[in-house]
Structure 1
Amino acid sequence: MTTTTQAAPAGLILGAGPESGDVRIWGMSAAERLRRIFRRVGVAAADRAPASGTVVVALGGWVYDESLIRTLAQRPGSVLLADDGQAVAAHVHAERAAEASAAIERGADPGGLTRLSPAELSYNPELRKREDPILLRLTRDNVRAVEARTFKGSYKGVTDLVTKHVWPVPARIVTRWCASARLTPNMVTFVGFLGVLGAQYFFWNGAFGLGLICAWIMTFLDTVDGKLARVTMTSSKIGNVFDHGIDLIHPPFWWWAWYVGAFHPGNPPPASWYVQWIHLSPLPLAELALAVILIGYVVQRVEEGIFMRAFGMHVHAWRPFDSFFRQITARRNPNLLILTPAWALGRPDVGFYLVAIWTALSLAVHTAQLAQAFATPRERVVSWLSR
């Protein structure tokens, strides 16, 4: 028995038009942005329709959310409509490509196709938020507004309070500069990685002010690199692993370095101290706090992984409370919000203890979330954002 797979559709970009052909968004034209989206969703951009197969035809002067083109590419026989009902893109068989292209360039519906609209695709599981995908004509008059909209669309809906409420405006400015300068997301991630190393070094040696400067710069660039990748359509698997790998691994090393800087500046504990850990011997208060922070961080991430594997979504997207708690749970940025004022008041040791307490409380909340999910009927464990 043989199986056949449908060939990837070809992609035709229809005339951008005099209004938007020379307008740049994030350092590229709308047509170039669409070409990058085609590449990302598996559509082969072509100069003319093939003799067979299917074709995605789309107006080159419009700015599309990637999810719209991906959905369109998966649904032969469909047409994408803007909010005003204008047809802007369609997925048709090759023999209808010329007819559909002519109709769409006139702003008319080719007819006989299933209609799609942005409102149907308002939930984005990757970014954990509900928001209508962008679909706008690009002109000289609205380019900044469209950039603002695409930047907002690149943001995760469920994240920590610093990333959500503090970084958006400065990050948009820096992201625009990076795009204009042709900097890649991986370049930004690498500079952020240098910040990781700098914070580690300064914390370890008790230079908390310099370490916090490096740490906050790193957290800011960690916002910029992801947004730059999304708005310029240049994200990659390697870049994603590089970025998320750094995010996952470095926080425990920072807290360990803070412990050394606060209680043993430049002088890590002797080997016998680690033997105490192994044999679960009673630990002094500072060492107990470090154990709570390190073990708590690892267990929380494991619990998040279990939830994702069991229910196919992030625990933070399950219920409104879970999304709220993601803003303040004991992760990197909320912990830095505790440590920074503690250092400013001259008590980095007190800040360390407060992080340990908050980590223990956060771990208790995450454990309760996981237990509640497994005690709930499977069909009810769905994201409140998708309802």
Structure 2
Amino acid sequence: MPKTACLIGHGDLVIWFEGSAERLRRSFAAVGITQFIDEQALPDQRGPVILVRADAVIDGPLVKALLEAPGSVLLANGPHQGTPLAAHATSDFPAAAAVLREEPGVAMPTGLQPVRAAELGASYWKALRKREEPYALLPSPHDLAQTEWRMFMGTYKGATDFVTKWLWPRPAFYVTRLCARLGITPNQITALSLVSVIAAFYWFWQGSWWLGLLAGWLMTFLDTVDGKLARITLRSSKFGNFFDHSIDLIHPPFWYLAWGIGLQQGPLALAPDDLAIVLTVIVGGYLLQRVIEGISIWRFRLEIHIWRRVDTWFRLVTARRNPNLVLLTLATVAGWPDVGLAAVAVWTAVCLLLHGLQLVQAWWATRNGQKLRSWMTEPD
């Protein structure tokens, strides 16, 4: 794969509070481009070169896909559809640069083939468990807001819960934008999220339902913001990913335990045996669902939530933190926090059975010779 890139033209437009040229440098550096040369050095260049318009905005999957597609000229989608944005050239570099500059009368050099984003095989993004055409944009000042929104939505996972998918995007966009403007880092947001986790645990333990729910919902919102901020500002790190996912994985059972203890301090206390059963179902069900997900990845090399369309739809409401918080919130509004905890237990048990059924169906399919693939990798 090429190790050299050249930015064509000027990237003066500020996108997400950073010049487009600098964003491109960091995007390509992240996938192994170790050298950037000036246009004047192209005639003397030996070996393949990635040429990119300095004012282009290219989604992460396309950056990697372009490196693996010699002879490809990536065309823009969006408002400037069809405009050449980048090329993986192996020879005649000045001619390829002229194509990107859109010089009058310049023909496509021999050996280069225009391709759309969807044709580069990057429509399924495994890291975000989704299928959509990655963006390849040529933004301008008058459509900058639409460009930033498209970039932001491109950071969302395809398989997630309904709160994250439908409720959080618009407010998270503005908060992420504010954080980017102020230079707040993703890890700082994750640290604040951890504080919210602890605060929710404390207030649930005390039976202060509304304060606990406020802290809990703040945590879930910040959990959306930190990941989006990391991806949109190209500040992802192994530590940040570990930090964020560790909090996500560990805290939910402790919230339910604290909620149960908080109930015992008021007039809605459950009988000790009933409380033990409810908490065992919730915590045990949560852990077993995680085990099922792990078995699916280990045994079938596939996340169970993206196998079939119905599995992805089920992920919207499965008994994970956000749908369970909705149950607890609705019950608290009605004045029945005890019923809320029982509802979480019932829904956890139902979802555990359904996830177990998914695992059995996956095992049966492979036993009959089927290789499991995500529906997102299949053509429409």
Q: TM-score, with normalisation over the residues of structure 1?
A: 0.88
1:229 CA displacement? 1.2
Q: Distance in 1 between matches of 2:203 and 2:306?
A: 36
Structure 1: gaps (5+ residues): 1-5, 266-282
Q: Could you tell me which residue of structure 1 aligns to residue 112 of structure 2?
A: 113
Q: Could you tell me which residue of structure 1 aligns to residue 375 of structure 2?
A: 384
Q: Distance in 2 between matches of 1:360 and 1:215?
A: 22
Q: Distance in 2 between matches of 1:142 and 1:44?
A: 32
Structure 2: gaps (5+ residues): 267-271
1:23 equivalent in alignment to 2:17:
no
Superposed CA deviations along residues 328-349 of structure 1, whole A, max 9, x for unmatched, are 1110000000001212222211
Superposed CA deviations along residues 120-157 of structure 1, whole A, max 9, x for unmatched, are 23222222222111111111011000011111111112
Deviates more, 1:198-207 or 1:75-84: 75-84
Q: Could you tell me which residue of structure 2 aligns to residue 321 of structure 1?
A: 310
1:264 CA displacement? 4.6
Q: Could you tell me which residue of structure 1 aligns to residue 29 of structure 2?
A: 39
1:310 CA displacement? 2.3
Q: Distance in 2 between matches of 1:318 and 1:240?
A: 24
Counterparts in 2 of 1:86-235, with a 5 A limit? 86-93=83-90, 96-106=92-102, 109-120=108-119, 121-235=122-236
Superposed CA deviations along residues 170-217 of structure 1, whole A, max 9, x for unmatched, are 011111111111111111111111101110111111111111110000
Q: Distance in 1 between matches of 2:319 and 2:199?
A: 22
Q: TM-score, with normalisation over the residues of structure 2?
A: 0.90
Superposed CA deviations along residues 260-308 of structure 1, whole A, max 9, x for unmatched, are 111257xxxxxxxxxxxxxxxxx71111110111111011011001112
Q: Could you tell me which residue of structure 1 aligns to residue 269 of structure 2?
A: none
Question: CA distance change for structure 1 residues 379 and 110 in 2, over 3 Å: closer, same or farther?
Answer: farther
Deviates more, 1:324-333 or 1:119-128: 119-128
Q: Is the 8 A contact 2:75 2:136 kept in 1?
A: no
1:248 equivalent in alignment to 2:270:
no
1:82 equivalent in alignment to 2:76:
yes
Q: Distance in 2 between matches of 1:114 and 1:309?
A: 39
1:350 CA displacement? 1.2
1:32 CA displacement? 1.6
Q: Is the 8 A contact 1:319 1:383 kept in 2?
A: yes
Q: Is the 8 A contact 2:76 2:138 kept in 1?
A: no
Deviates more, 1:210-219 or 1:346-355: 346-355
Structure 1 counterpart of 2:148, one-letter code: E
State the SS of the aligned residue for 1:212: helix
Q: Distance in 2 between matches of 1:126 and 1:360?
A: 29
Q: Could you tell me which residue of structure 1 aligns to residue 300 of structure 2?
A: 311
Q: Distance in 1 between matches of 2:108 and 2:338?
A: 67
Structure 2 counterpart of 1:301, one-letter code: R
Determine what percentage of the aligned residue pairs are the same residue: 46
State the SS of the aligned residue for 1:13: strand
Q: Could you tell me which residue of structure 1 aligns to residue 50 of structure 2?
A: 56
Q: Distance in 1 between matches of 2:265 and 2:354?
A: 32
Structure 2 counterpart of 1:55, one-letter code: V
Q: Is the 8 A contact 1:158 1:316 kept in 2?
A: yes
State the SS of the aligned residue for 1:328: coil
Q: Is the 8 A contact 1:25 1:147 kept in 2?
A: yes
Task: Give the counterpart of 1:340 among 329, 332, 335.
Answer: 329
Q: Is the 8 A contact 2:204 2:258 kept in 1?
A: yes
State the SS of the aligned residue for 1:69: helix
1:228 CA displacement? 1.0
Superposed CA deviations along residues 231-273 of structure 1, whole A, max 9, x for unmatched, are 11111111111111110111111111111111257xxxxxxxx
Superposed CA deviations along residues 4-57 of structure 1, whole A, max 9, x for unmatched, are xx6x511211112xxxx4322111121121112112211124133584332211
State the SS of the aligned residue for 1:381: coil
Q: Distance in 2 between matches of 1:89 and 1:291?
A: 56
Structure 1 counterpart of 2:51, one-letter code: V
Q: Distance in 2 between matches of 1:308 and 1:68?
A: 25
Q: Is the 8 A contact 1:128 1:157 kept in 2?
A: yes
Q: CA RMSD in A?
A: 2.1
Number of residue pairs matched by the alignment? 362
State the SS of the aligned residue for 2:328: helix
Q: Is the 8 A contact 2:12 2:21 kept in 1?
A: no
Q: Is the 8 A contact 2:296 2:359 kept in 1?
A: yes
Structure 2 counterpart of 1:39, one-letter code: A
Q: Is the 8 A contact 1:43 1:73 kept in 2?
A: no
Structure 1 counterpart of 2:100, one-letter code: I
Q: Distance in 1 between matches of 2:201 and 2:319?
A: 19
